[in-house]
Amino acid sequence: MGRLDGKAAIITGAGKGLGAAFAVRFAAEGAKLCLVTRKDMEGLKKVAEQVTAKGAECMWFQADVTKLEDVNRMADETVKKFGKIDILVNNAAYYFGVERRPFNKISQEEWDMMMAINVKGPWLSWSGAFSCSQRVTLSSILSGTSYLLKRMTDNQCL
């Protein structure tokens, strides 16, 4: 019996890195998973295969966390399949492929993309999840990336 038995979790940015690690660990702990990526469908498919091999119930699809209609669909589909949302992991981030350089050398387009995915994305994901409020327990929200991760549980920041 795992610590997450029966819990339904959405994990954004689940196609690689920390998102993939969350997915594999949550599967081992018994969670039902909705895995999401914006681009890396090949990576997401591999992660989905890993978690289903562990016996986890899993759905996966492409969604852009910068688009309200995508995050609403993400939440709605999760509730349709699992009946609820208990955990939201906002892991989608725009860092891979971004070259480290002085801030004044970052293009406006790259900056806008970074802010849209890294800042607006979690806010829209929370909004999408809470739009299903009668079927959302959201006992845990994890927001962050490989660089920063905060855990909020029951109105406490740990």
Spell out the domains of the chain, with CATH numbers in brackets.
Answer: 8-157 (3.40.50.720)
Separation of alpha carbons 115 and 109, rounded Å: 10
pLDDT band at 144 (very low <50, low <70, confident <90, very high): low
Query: 104 or 23: whose pLDDT is higher?
Result: 23
Highest mean pLDDT among 35-49, 77-91, 110-124: 35-49
Alpha-carbon span 135 to 88, nearest angstrom:
13
DSSP H helices in the chain: 17-28, 41-53, 68-82, 108-115, 121-130
> And the tokens for 19?
């998102």
Residue 116 is given by DSSP the state I
pLDDT for 146 equals 44
Mean pLDDT of the chain: 84
For residues 36 and 104, give the distance between their C-alpha atoms in angstroms, rounded to a whole number: 32
Alpha-carbon span 77 to 61, nearest angstrom: 10
Q: pTM for the complete prediction? A: 0.84
CA-wise closest residue to 92 among 69, 77, 70: 70
pLDDT digits (tens, 9 = 90+) for 92-125: 988 766 778 888 888 899 889 989 998 899 989 9
Range with the lowest mean pLDDT among 64-73, 93-102, 140-149? 140-149
Q: Which of 8, 20, 120 is nearest to 75 (CA)?
A: 8
Q: Say if residue 66's pLDDT is above 70.
A: yes
Strand order through the sheet with 136-144: 58-62, 32-37, 8-12, 85-90, 136-144, 149-153, 156-157
